[in-house]
Protein backbone atom coordinates (compact mmCIF):
# COMPACT_ATOMS: atom_id res chain seq x y z
CA UNK A 1 0.00 0.00 0.00
CA UNK A 2 1.96 2.96 -1.35
CA UNK A 3 0.63 6.48 -0.57
CA UNK A 4 0.41 8.74 -3.60
CA UNK A 5 -1.25 11.94 -2.39
CA UNK A 6 -3.68 13.28 0.18
CA UNK A 7 -6.99 15.07 -0.36
CA UNK A 8 -6.39 18.17 1.77
CA UNK A 9 -5.60 21.39 -0.13
CA UNK A 10 -3.14 23.90 1.29
CA UNK A 11 -3.83 27.63 1.34
CA UNK A 12 -0.24 28.79 1.34
CA UNK A 13 2.65 27.69 -0.86
CA UNK A 14 4.66 25.18 1.25
CA UNK A 15 8.02 26.78 0.51
CA UNK A 16 9.83 25.22 3.50
CA UNK A 17 8.64 21.71 2.66
CA UNK A 18 9.78 22.08 -0.93
CA UNK A 19 13.12 23.52 0.15
CA UNK A 20 13.64 20.56 2.50
CA UNK A 21 12.93 18.15 -0.35
CA UNK A 22 15.29 20.09 -2.63
CA UNK A 23 18.03 20.09 0.03
CA UNK A 24 17.78 16.33 0.49
CA UNK A 25 17.95 15.75 -3.26
CA UNK A 26 20.88 18.15 -3.64
CA UNK A 27 22.87 16.42 -0.89
CA UNK A 28 22.16 13.05 -2.52
CA UNK A 29 23.43 14.34 -5.88
CA UNK A 30 26.59 15.70 -4.24
CA UNK A 31 27.21 12.33 -2.58
CA UNK A 32 26.57 10.50 -5.85
CA UNK A 33 28.99 12.78 -7.72
CA UNK A 34 31.61 12.15 -5.04
CA UNK A 35 32.03 8.63 -6.38
CA UNK A 36 34.71 6.74 -4.47
CA UNK A 37 34.87 9.55 -1.89
CA UNK A 38 31.25 8.95 -0.90
CA UNK A 39 32.15 6.68 2.03
CA UNK A 40 34.47 9.36 3.44
CA UNK A 41 31.65 11.92 3.21
CA UNK A 42 29.36 9.60 5.13
CA UNK A 43 31.85 9.07 7.93
CA UNK A 44 32.71 12.78 8.03
CA UNK A 45 29.17 14.16 8.12
CA UNK A 46 26.90 11.40 9.44
CA UNK A 47 26.49 10.75 13.14
CA UNK A 48 28.32 7.64 14.38
CA UNK A 49 27.16 6.50 17.84
CA UNK A 50 30.54 5.01 18.77
CA UNK A 51 32.16 8.43 18.42
CA UNK A 52 30.03 9.79 21.25
CA UNK A 53 31.68 8.74 24.48
CA UNK A 54 31.05 11.64 26.86
CA UNK A 55 28.18 13.57 25.34
CA UNK A 56 27.74 15.65 22.22
CA UNK A 57 30.35 18.24 21.34
CA UNK A 58 29.89 20.92 18.69
CA UNK A 59 31.16 18.65 15.92
CA UNK A 60 28.78 15.85 16.88
CA UNK A 61 25.87 18.31 16.96
CA UNK A 62 26.64 19.47 13.43
CA UNK A 63 26.75 15.82 12.33
CA UNK A 64 23.25 15.34 13.75
CA UNK A 65 22.00 18.08 11.44
CA UNK A 66 23.94 17.06 8.33
CA UNK A 67 23.03 13.38 8.73
CA UNK A 68 19.35 14.35 8.49
CA UNK A 69 19.92 15.30 4.84
CA UNK A 70 21.96 12.24 3.79
CA UNK A 71 20.57 9.02 2.34
CA UNK A 72 22.00 5.56 1.74
CA UNK A 73 20.55 5.10 -1.73
CA UNK A 74 17.98 6.21 -4.28
CA UNK A 75 15.18 4.05 -2.83
CA UNK A 76 15.91 5.44 0.66
CA UNK A 77 15.71 9.00 -0.67
CA UNK A 78 12.63 8.41 -2.86
CA UNK A 79 10.60 6.80 -0.06
CA UNK A 80 11.39 9.57 2.41
CA UNK A 81 10.73 12.38 -0.05
CA UNK A 82 7.42 10.82 -1.13
CA UNK A 83 6.15 10.87 2.46
CA UNK A 84 7.47 14.40 3.05
CA UNK A 85 5.85 15.65 -0.16
CA UNK A 86 2.46 14.11 0.71
CA UNK A 87 2.24 15.02 4.39
CA UNK A 88 4.66 17.91 4.97
CA UNK A 89 2.81 20.62 3.04
CA UNK A 90 -0.33 20.34 5.17
CA UNK A 91 1.60 20.38 8.44
CA UNK A 92 3.50 23.47 7.27
CA UNK A 93 0.21 25.07 6.23
CA UNK A 94 -1.12 24.63 9.76
CA UNK A 95 2.06 25.58 11.68
CA UNK A 96 3.38 28.31 9.40
CA UNK A 97 6.80 28.38 7.74
CA UNK A 98 8.99 29.26 10.72
CA UNK A 99 7.33 26.91 13.18
CA UNK A 100 7.44 24.11 10.65
CA UNK A 101 11.21 24.21 10.11
CA UNK A 102 11.75 24.36 13.89
CA UNK A 103 9.33 21.46 14.31
CA UNK A 104 11.04 19.41 11.59
CA UNK A 105 14.54 19.87 13.02
CA UNK A 106 13.41 19.15 16.59
CA UNK A 107 11.76 15.92 15.44
CA UNK A 108 14.98 14.97 13.67
CA UNK A 109 16.99 15.61 16.83
CA UNK A 110 14.56 13.61 18.95
CA UNK A 111 14.73 10.74 16.47
CA UNK A 112 18.52 10.74 16.56
CA UNK A 113 18.68 10.63 20.35
CA UNK A 114 16.08 7.84 20.45
CA UNK A 115 18.21 5.76 18.11
CA UNK A 116 21.41 6.57 20.02
CA UNK A 117 19.83 5.30 23.23
CA UNK A 118 19.56 1.83 21.66
CA UNK A 119 22.74 1.78 19.57
CA UNK A 120 25.44 3.07 21.93
CA UNK A 121 28.82 1.88 20.73
CA UNK A 122 27.67 1.14 17.19
CA UNK A 123 30.05 2.19 14.42
CA UNK A 124 27.27 2.24 11.80
CA UNK A 125 26.58 5.79 10.57
CA UNK A 126 23.10 7.15 11.31
CA UNK A 127 21.70 9.03 8.34
CA UNK A 128 18.42 9.87 6.68
CA UNK A 129 15.43 12.18 7.00
CA UNK A 130 13.03 9.45 8.11
CA UNK A 131 13.13 10.40 11.81
CA UNK A 132 12.11 13.98 11.09
CA UNK A 133 9.50 12.81 8.59
CA UNK A 134 8.11 10.43 11.20
CA UNK A 135 7.51 13.55 13.28
CA UNK A 136 5.59 15.05 10.36
CA UNK A 137 3.42 11.92 10.26
CA UNK A 138 2.77 12.25 13.99
CA UNK A 139 1.66 15.85 13.49
CA UNK A 140 -0.51 14.96 10.51
CA UNK A 141 -2.43 12.26 12.36
CA UNK A 142 -3.25 14.78 15.14
CA UNK A 143 -4.04 17.74 12.89
CA UNK A 144 -5.95 15.88 10.18
CA UNK A 145 -7.46 12.71 11.69
CA UNK A 146 -10.22 12.72 9.06
CA UNK A 147 -7.76 13.07 6.18
CA UNK A 148 -7.99 10.72 3.21
CA UNK A 149 -4.97 9.36 1.36
CA UNK A 150 -4.89 8.03 -2.20
CA UNK A 151 -2.81 4.85 -2.16
CA UNK A 152 -1.64 2.39 -4.76
CA UNK A 153 -2.80 -1.05 -3.67
CA UNK A 154 -1.62 -3.64 -6.15
CA UNK A 155 -2.76 -2.32 -9.51
CA UNK A 156 -5.62 -0.25 -8.07
CA UNK A 157 -5.78 3.30 -6.74
CA UNK A 158 -7.96 3.50 -3.63
CA UNK A 159 -8.76 6.10 -1.00
CA UNK A 160 -7.87 5.19 2.59
CA UNK A 161 -8.12 7.02 5.90
CA UNK A 162 -4.91 8.71 7.03
CA UNK A 163 -5.39 6.98 10.37
CA UNK A 164 -5.07 3.61 8.63
CA UNK A 165 -2.09 4.55 6.45
CA UNK A 166 -0.08 6.15 9.25
CA UNK A 167 -1.40 3.73 11.86
CA UNK A 168 -0.17 0.70 9.89
CA UNK A 169 3.17 2.42 9.42
CA UNK A 170 3.73 3.04 13.14
CA UNK A 171 2.57 -0.49 14.05
CA UNK A 172 5.20 -1.85 11.66
CA UNK A 173 7.84 0.33 13.31
CA UNK A 174 6.81 -0.83 16.79
CA UNK A 175 6.92 -4.53 15.96
CA UNK A 176 10.18 -4.16 14.03
CA UNK A 177 11.82 -2.23 16.88
CA UNK A 178 10.72 -4.82 19.43
CA UNK A 179 12.15 -7.56 17.27
CA UNK A 180 15.45 -5.74 16.83
CA UNK A 181 15.79 -5.03 20.57
CA UNK A 182 15.07 -8.68 21.37
CA UNK A 183 17.57 -9.75 18.75
CA UNK A 184 14.92 -11.65 16.84
CA UNK A 185 14.95 -9.54 13.70
CA UNK A 186 17.47 -8.18 11.25
CA UNK A 187 16.68 -4.47 10.89
CA UNK A 188 18.36 -4.34 7.49
CA UNK A 189 20.06 -1.09 8.46
CA UNK A 190 16.74 0.62 9.28
CA UNK A 191 16.74 2.81 12.41
CA UNK A 192 13.32 1.85 13.73
CA UNK A 193 13.86 3.51 17.11
CA UNK A 194 14.54 6.79 15.29
CA UNK A 195 11.20 6.44 13.53
CA UNK A 196 9.36 5.86 16.80
CA UNK A 197 11.23 8.67 18.58
CA UNK A 198 10.49 11.11 15.76
CA UNK A 199 6.82 10.08 15.63
CA UNK A 200 6.33 10.57 19.38
CA UNK A 201 8.17 13.90 19.24
CA UNK A 202 5.89 15.01 16.40
CA UNK A 203 2.77 14.29 18.44
CA UNK A 204 4.11 16.01 21.56
CA UNK A 205 5.35 19.07 19.67
CA UNK A 206 2.04 19.39 17.84
CA UNK A 207 0.25 19.85 21.15
CA UNK A 208 2.97 22.20 22.41
CA UNK A 209 2.82 24.31 19.26
CA UNK A 210 -0.98 24.29 19.38
CA UNK A 211 -3.20 22.15 17.21
CA UNK A 212 -4.96 25.25 15.90
CA UNK A 213 -1.85 27.30 15.14
CA UNK A 214 -1.48 28.76 11.70
CA UNK A 215 -4.03 28.44 8.91
CA UNK A 216 -6.77 25.87 9.34
CA UNK A 217 -6.91 23.53 6.37
CA UNK A 218 -9.95 21.56 5.32
CA UNK A 219 -10.28 18.15 6.98
CA UNK A 220 -11.51 15.75 4.33
Residue 161 phi/psi, 5-degree rounding, is -60, 140
The number of domains in the chain is 1
- Candidates 172, 69, 173; CA nearest to 114 is 173
The answer on pLDDT for 102 being more than 80 is yes
Could you list the residue range(s) of the whole structural domain that residue 69 is in? 2-209
* CATH number, domain with residue 113: 1.20.1540.10
Query: Phi/psi zone of residue 158: left (φ > 0), alpha (ψ -120 to 50 degrees), beta?
Result: beta
Express each pLDDT in 56-92 by its tens digit.
666 667 888 999 999 988 988 998 999 999 999 999 9
Residue 218 lies in a domain: no
Q: Is residue 185 part of a domain?
A: yes
Query: If pLDDT is split at 50, 70 and 90, which confidence band does 210 have?
Result: confident
The mean pLDDT of the chain is 84
Asked if the structure places residue 219 within a domain, the reply is: no
Q: 156 has which bridge partners? A: 153
**What digits encode the pLDDT tens for the residues 176-200?**
655 444 444 444 456 778 889 999 9
Amino acid sequence: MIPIRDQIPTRHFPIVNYLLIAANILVFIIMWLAGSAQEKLVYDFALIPANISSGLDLGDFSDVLTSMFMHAGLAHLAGNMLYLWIFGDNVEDRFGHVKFIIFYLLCGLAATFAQLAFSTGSDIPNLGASGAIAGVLGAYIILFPQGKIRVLQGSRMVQVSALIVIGLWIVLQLFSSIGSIAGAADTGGVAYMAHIGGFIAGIVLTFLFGRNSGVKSING
